[in-house]
A and B are shown apart, each in its own frame.
Chain A
Amino acid sequence: MDSTTLIAIASIVTAGLTIALGSIGPALGEGRAVATALSSLAQQPDAATTITRTLFVGLAMIESIAIYCFVVSMILLFANPFWNHVIAPAVGK
């Protein structure tokens, strides 16, 4: 198995695994955050704007972890330096 094939296999498999495993944690975290926010909204409806705003800020923080995994996955698929390096002779740089 030459290095081109190896790099291709590694990149594709890692890209899939990155986004698959990387979405589990943030999804669970966001579920807990929304559940707690809903129960505190039920307890104190007059603090709704503060709770909602803090909820959205917290969700964005949690979401950014999933976004990091997505960016790594995209880099592996579309802007992969190792792939570009082994493909360069074939493309004729």
Chain B
Amino acid sequence: MRLSPDQMIFWQHGVLKLNGTIAFTWGLMLVLAVGSKLVTRRLSTGLHRSRWQNLLEIIVTGIEKQIAEVGLRHPKKYLGFLGTLFLFVASASLCTIIPGYEPPTGSLSTTAALALCVLAAVPFYGIQEEGLRGYLKSYVEPTVIMLPFNIISELSRTLALAVRLFGNMMSGTMILAILLTITPFIFPIAMSVLGLLTGMVQAYIFSILATVYIAAATRGRKSTAAPTPKTTA
């Protein structure tokens, strides 16, 4: 029973392996990058735009609005990172329509890498906004006794991000595989539609959680808006 696209090996030479995860990840990157490049070759600011430019504008402004709604002050600064997270996970899930494709986010390596990116981005943006002392001060925020708990919560929510995305994607593909051996026709199609829906929701959740963590790190003690707690879920 194949647990992840890590076990689909296309080519092997000694210790180097080209497995499904790497191949599909690079394929996705290629499609996203080349597609965007082709669409943005001739941008127009008038009333007549190509429909692809419209689509990209809808996506970009939508993501920017979501980032602003969570409470980040300059959404355009974070748009690259958070938008990429959302687009990668969403398109990884969307392409399951294509036969023979396994989502690379169904491998713990990919989701761990994405979660580590978020783990690195939070102090990066935090130090950029608040300065090194301001950011480190947030770890002793209520009292100094909370320092180990804040550190543990930082690590555990990274783990939670990785396992949540991995579990959702892997369970979708695995349930589909099991169902195909039991009831070949209608039910697996319904389950794969459900898989698409959960894939989109998980993409949204991943990027919104990354946004919330970055907002918590860059908020500082200046604003008294609704506090985003350092959760450990």
Residues on A lying within 8 angstroms of B by beta carbon are 50, 53, 56-57, 60-65, 67-68, 70-71, 74, 78-79
Contacts and interface: CB of A to CB of B under 8 A. Distances in A.
For chain B, the bracket of interface size reads: 20 to 34
Contact of B1 (A62, A68, A78): A78
7 contacts: A56-B201, A56-B204, A57-B212, A61-B231, A61-B233, A71-B170, A78-B1
Contacts, number: 45
Contacts of B205: 56-57, 60
B3 interface: yes
A68 B168 CA distance: 10
Interface of B: 1, 3, 69, 160, 163-164, 166-168, 170-171, 174, 201-202, 204-205, 208-209, 212, 231, 233
B164 A64 contact: yes
A20 to B, nearest CB: 16
Contacts of B170: 71, 74
Given A56-B204, A67-B164, 18 more contacts: A50-B69, A53-B69, A56-B205, A57-B209, A57-B212, A60-B201, A60-B209, A61-B231, A61-B233, A63-B168, A64-B167, A65-B233, A68-B167, A70-B171, A71-B163, A74-B3, A74-B174, A78-B1
A60 B205 CA distance: 7
B163 A79 contact: no
A82 to B, nearest CB: 17
Please provide the 3 A-B residue pairs with the shortest distance between their CB atoms, ordered closest to farther: A67-B167, A60-B205, A64-B164
